Amino acid sequence: MRRLQPVWLALALWGAVHPMYWFVTYLSGNGWSLGALIDAWYVNASTTGLVWDLTIAAIALTLWICAEAVTRRDWTSLVAVPAIYCIGVSCGLPLYLWLRGRRSVG
């Protein structure tokens, strides 16, 4: 698992930057309205399905992180929870894996 630590961190950074690029591109072209961005997520059945898929994954990941934080008494790993909801699952999951593995490295 030691070899995967840089991979988790790289994926967390990519998961923060790449999706945010598309959000900023949309917002700059369509006005800086968060409500309009959220409305766009429900424009058709495909995007609605994707939103629900990511929402369910975010909830499951949050429950897993919270349960492990209590079990392992690793409160720092809870930093991944706001990353899930403020940035996205594509950042929060690899960030959590990186935070979880940092104790076993070194």
Residue 68 pLDDT grade (very low, low, confident, very high; cuts 50, 70, 90)? very high
92: in domain: yes
Instruction: Measure the CA–CA gap between 43 and 88, rounded to whole angstroms.
Output: 20
- Taking the model in full, what pTM does it have? 0.89
For 3-30, what is each residue's pLDDT tens digit?
999 999 999 999 999 999 999 999 999 9
106: in domain: no
Asked whether the predicted pLDDT for residue 105 surpasses 80, the reply is no
Tokens of 89: 């699952």
Asked whether the predicted pLDDT for residue 106 surpasses 50, the reply is no
9: in domain: yes
* Domain span at 42: 2-101
Asked whether the predicted pLDDT for residue 43 surpasses 90, the reply is yes
10: in domain: yes
Q: Is the Cα dihedral 18, 103, 82, 97 positive or negative?
A: positive
Report the number of distinct structural domains present in the chain.
1
88: in domain: yes
